[in-house]
A and B are shown apart, each in its own frame.
Chain A
Amino acid sequence: MIALAAFYLFASVMIAAAAFTILSRNPVHSVLWLILAFFNAAGLMVLAGAEFVAMLLVIVYVGAVAVLFLFVVMMLNIDLAEVRSGFTRYGLFGAAIAAVLATEVVVADEAWHSGALMLGARQAVTPDNMPNIQALGALLYTRYLYVFEGAGLVLLVAMIGAIVLTHRERSGVRPQKIGDQVKRRPSEAVRIVSDQPVGAGVEL
């Protein structure tokens, strides 16, 4: 009973938050609604018994991705009138994409129920009495090792690509060299000028 109530709570709040993500006028509010949606998705994962995925969802999406979204959106100076004019321009296009997605969901659901494709059957069943993390790790590092490492490689390439694209060598900057600072000794840094004649000034 409680699990069912929790499911409907999480699910309805998530759908409402997703709707507000699109409908709210202020982009910062949109991101915050999106975060609420992520959070409720994590709650649903806990209900489904996938606590590891739930935690990862919060750590990765709420803790890192959404922070960066918020970071960017907060800095934008968005002209709401301009956004509105975009709505009429892209509205039809968006509606077309939404229609395609809705059709695909219906087709997938029908295909699952038709049963001929074995889509509903689990390829890797989680063993009982094993924590989620261990079950996932055991599969990822044995059966799906190459796929997993391939995904890692793709991410590595993406990361290097991002660094290459944004990195620029700037000339004329004088970065702090902490090693040099630590190596500095009084003998090379201090010069006694007290024996100078009065009014002669100091050479800097």
Chain B
Amino acid sequence: MISILYSLTFFGHHMPWKAAYLLTYVGAILLIALPLMLAVAMIIYADRKIWAAMALRRGPNVVGPFGLLQSFADGLKVFLQETIIPAATNKGLFLLAPIITFTVALIVWAVVPFGPGLVVADINVGLLYVLAASSIGVYGVIISGWSSNSKYPFYSAMRAAAQMVSYEVSIGFVLLCVVLFAGTFNLSGIVLAQKGHGLGLINAFGVNPLLFPMAAVFFISSLAETARPPFDLTEAESELVAGYQTEYSSMSFALFWLGEYANVILMCGLNAILFWGGWLPPLNWAPLYLVPGIIWFLIKIWCFFFLFSWVKATVPRYRYDQLMRLGWKIFLPLSLIFIALVSGWLMVSGRIGGGV
């Protein structure tokens, strides 16, 4: 992506190369961040529409054609509101928390490959970078809960911390299974390793009987990691008012929302990249490759978002002890067993273990 942009913008121009590269990177970042914000606005609308349809309601249909501009109207509303900082808060941290949530949701996109070569930073520890960045995300919630100096946000922060740490463990093991099959931590490499993985015909790790259960575990864990229903205990309104966002208003509240949905889209993208072929077409058939990779990737993200929405509309919320039981007593042993199975199978079939 960087090289394409670089040649597009600065080919033939007489510019110092350092300045040109700096500008190219800024351009690439904007090229991802701005459409992402637009996508977040539209995906909130889609979420509400899907949710409404499953509840036999109409959903947003007043602002703009089919209510398409609803999210922008909401955005304008919060933008024009006054930012209220309660007197008893820890002001610096109170303002820092939504910024952390939002920033972390954006920085992970740096390593997401949208197509062949369409990635800002093609680093070889890409998957670890994703894990590292998503593990910082919990601080936004914890800091907001503590600095609000209020009971419910604090409870919510405690829940969030425990929940995210628990599910990150099983997510880590699931990712290891994928890495064992792909042989690389680079996300583009993981996508390419899935080419023709299913009997030379299907471009997906998910059809592998050893990896399909892990795909399911990863999907459920990503619901928990983004605190989507049925794991939205951090903002369970019947128990905790609005959770860690209770004391927030105006743009600081909106930043939490944007960050949350950006994270949801990211998790949908990761599901697509790790198990369902990323920007590869679903079938390894030449005519399908004529469609640009980014289209396939966006379609896959959309499919996973529909699943996220479907789950939100239909599954009742977990109780806290059930959440912990699922994370520690079911997913953790299951993913550990599958690491043994996957590495054992790869050793037996002679695909790894030859030494370096």
Contact = CB atoms under 8 A, between A and B. Distances in A.
Interface of A: 28, 32, 35, 51-52, 55-56, 58-59, 62-64, 67-68, 70-71, 74-75, 131-134, 137-138, 142, 176
A70 B142 contact: yes
Contacts of A35: 139
Contacts of B165: 63-64, 67-68
28 contacts: A32-B93, A35-B139, A51-B123, A51-B125, A52-B125, A52-B128, A55-B125, A55-B128, A55-B131, A58-B132, A58-B135, A59-B128, A59-B132, A59-B135, A62-B136, A63-B131, A63-B136, A63-B138, A63-B165, A67-B139, A70-B139, A70-B161, A75-B158, A131-B125, A132-B125, A133-B125, A133-B185, A142-B355
B192 to A, nearest CB: 16
Top 3 nearest A-B pairs (CB, nearest first) are A63-B135, A55-B128, A58-B132
A59 B322 contact: no
Contact of A138 (B135, B168, B321, B356): B356
B129 A55 contact: yes
B146 interface: yes
Contacts, number: 69
Q: Is the interface of A mostly helix, strand, loop or mixed?
A: helix
Among A52, A59, A142, find the residue whose CB has the most chain B CB atoms closer than 10 A. A59
B131 A71 contact: no
Given A52-B128, A71-B142, 6 more contacts: A58-B136, A63-B135, A68-B165, A71-B158, A74-B146, A176-B321
Chain B interface size, under 10 / 10 to 19 / 20 to 34 / 35 or more? 20 to 34
A32 B325 CA distance: 30
Contacts of A64: 135, 165, 168
Q: Is the interface of B mostly helix, strand, loop or mixed?
A: helix
B124 interface: yes
Contacts of A51: 123-125
B143 interface: yes
Nearest to A127: B356
Nearest to B172: A59
A28 to B, nearest CB: 6
Contacts of A63: 131-132, 135-136, 138, 165, 168
Interface string B152-176: 0010011001100100100000000
Nearest to A71: B161
A55 B142 contact: no
Among B139, B143, B157, B325, find the residue whose CB has the most chain A CB atoms closer than 10 A. B139
Contacts of A56: 128
